[in-house]
Amino acid sequence: MKRFFNELSKENQELLLSIGLEISASSGTFLFYEGDFPENVYLIRSGKVRLSKMTADGKEFSVHLKQKDELVGEVGLFNDMSISVTAEVIEDSVLVKFERSSLEEIFRKNGEIAVAFMKWFARHTQSTQAKFRDLILCGKTGAFYSTLIRFSNSYGLKTEEGILINVQLTNQDIANYIGTTRESINRMINDLKKDNVIKVDKGYILVKDIEFLKNYLHCGDCPVEICTI
């Protein structure tokens, strides 16, 4: 899996870290809110940060779950628009905090860092577009299957039984990623369990037959970086 920071040379990794401030953020910390004009961008060194939006009727819609070596708040670079998501730390994290102006300056001066960012940002944008395509064209069931595949690609561990999603998820968590109700997720999970496609243990999902999910969606051969959460 290609992520922004690990595409840089060792020299440029050190250069980038030298202009930031390493901080710790406990679970439940909000880095910024939807509608803010944040002056900082964050690089995740460990932990996880969830990006979400509020719908018109006040429901939370989860957009991304970011992890090690990814940036948070990068959409505020090189523009003066407010940010469109809320960023919440959902697992105790170590972050590198950059001033937006400092990061923009190093992108202007260092071609390798700038190109690595553009490549990662392009993949990130394609992933978001593909996610909404699945939601719009494949309905709630397709969006649910797509979300399971994306979690498997981003956080999956291969086991003898299948792919273990190494993130503890409640049914409400999953519902928030596809804009549906917890009850709908309960029903779809039970259907997949009956068909021996998945197994759930203490909030951890084991995908036993990922091909079943892919066949439903008529998945093509898109790069795994595009099919992430």
Q: Give yes or no: residues 98 and 15 share one domain.
A: yes
Q: Give yes or no: residues 91 and 169 share one domain.
A: no
Beta bridge partners of 164: 157, 206
State residue 165's pLDDT score. Answer: 93
State residue 97's pLDDT score. Answer: 96
Last residue of a domain, one of 109, 136, 164: 109
Q: Give yes or no: residues 57 and 140 share one domain.
A: no
* Cβ–Cβ under 8 Å, residues 184 and 175: yes
Q: Does residue 115 sit within a domain?
A: no
Last residue of a domain, one of 82, 109, 136: 109
Ordered mean pLDDT values, 10 residues apiece, the chain (229 residues): 83 94 96 90 94 83 89 82 90 95 91 88 80 77 89 90 91 88 91 92 90 81 70
Q: Give yes or no: residues 41 and 136 share one domain.
A: no
Q: Does residue 121 sit within a domain?
A: no
Q: Give yes or no: residues 17 and 54 share one domain.
A: yes
Q: Does residue 116 sit within a domain?
A: no
Q: Give yes or no: residues 105 and 43 share one domain.
A: yes
Q: Does residue 167 sit within a domain?
A: yes
Report DSSP state, residue 7: G
Backbone angles phi, psi at 97, to 5 degrees: -100, 125
Q: Which residue has the tokens 């960012």?
A: 117
Residue 65, burial from CB neighbour count under 10 angstroms (0-12, 13-18, 19+): buried
Q: Give yes or no: residues 159 and 100 share one domain.
A: no
Q: Does residue 63 sit within a domain?
A: yes
Q: Does residue 151 sit within a domain?
A: yes
What kind and span of H or E run contains 205? strand 204-207
Q: Give yes or no: residues 96 and 134 share one domain.
A: no
State residue 32's pLDDT score. Answer: 93
State residue 220's pLDDT score. Answer: 67
Q: Give yes or no: residues 19 and 83 share one domain.
A: yes
Tokens for 45, please give them.
């060194």
CA dist 10 and 13 (Å) reads 5
> Residue 134's domain is classified under what CATH number?
1.10.10.10
Q: Does residue 114 sit within a domain?
A: no
DSSP code string of 42-67: EEEEEEEEEEEEE-TTS-EEEEEEE-
H helices of 53-208, in order, are 100-109, 111-155, 171-178, 182-194
Q: Give yes or no: residues 132 and 166 share one domain.
A: yes
Number of domains in the chain: 2
Q: Give yes or no: residues 91 and 155 share one domain.
A: no
Helix (H/G/I), strand (E/B), else coil: 99:
strand
Q: Does residue 172 sit within a domain?
A: yes
> Residue 84's domain is classified under what CATH number?
2.60.120.10
DSSP code string of 11-22: HHHHHHHHTSEE
CA dist 72 and 43 (Å) reads 6
Domain limits for position 180: 127-226
Residue from 29, 6, 128 nearest 75 by CA? 128
Q: Give yes or no: residues 136 and 83 share one domain.
A: no
Last residue of a domain, one of 74, 109, 144: 109
